[in-house]
Homo-oligomer: A and B are copies of this chain.
Amino acid sequence: MAAERPRATVRLVEEAGASGKVAAVFADIKATKGLDFVPNFWRALATNPDHLEMVWSRLKAVMHPEASGRTSRLDPLTREIIALAVSATNGCAYCVNSHTAAVRKLGLDPEGLGEVMAVVALFNTTNALADGYQVEPDVLPPQD
């Protein structure tokens, strides 16, 4: 009954006990991302192995295109910056933590992080204003 701090709503799957589809995805996550542990996010998803595989295969395709021989118009830092912008806008703490660590690892220093946050914050302002005044589009976007 006593108030305790929130924790994950499912029992995280232990790496040690994983087998089959889960073990294969866990191994691929560590190899693709160069990690020596499986992040909690994936350990939570592993409670439903099909879903784990689906989300990982999509994340791998979008964020690690080189792993499937695809080239991307966006460099890795830009992709992580988009992830951080979405996470800060949604207020997702786990995601902000994770993508901040990623942009730092890719070379963005705290002042550069501040620039990203400045842009994110600015457009959360203009979004509220455009919606709050119901402003109509000026010009149509290019279509070709």
Could you tell me how many residues of chain A have their Cβ less than 8 Å away from some Cβ of chain B? 93
Partner of A130, one of B59, B94, B114: B94
Query: Shortest CB–CB separation between residue A88 and chain B, in angstroms?
Result: 3
| Contact status A119-B63, CB under 8 Å | yes
Shortest distance in angstroms between A75's beta carbon and chain B's nearest beta carbon? 9
A85 to chain B, nearest CB (A): 4
Taking the full assembly, how many copies of this chain does it contain? 6
Whole-angstrom distance from the CB of A139 to the nearest CB of chain B? 6
Bound-state CA distance A111–B48 (Å) is: 5
Contact A122 B62 (CB under 8 A): yes
A134 touches B7 (CB 8 A): yes
A-side interface residues toward B, CB under 8 Å? 1, 3-11, 37, 39-41, 44-45, 47-48, 50-51, 54-55, 58-59, 61-63, 70, 72-74, 78-79, 81-101, 104-105, 108-144
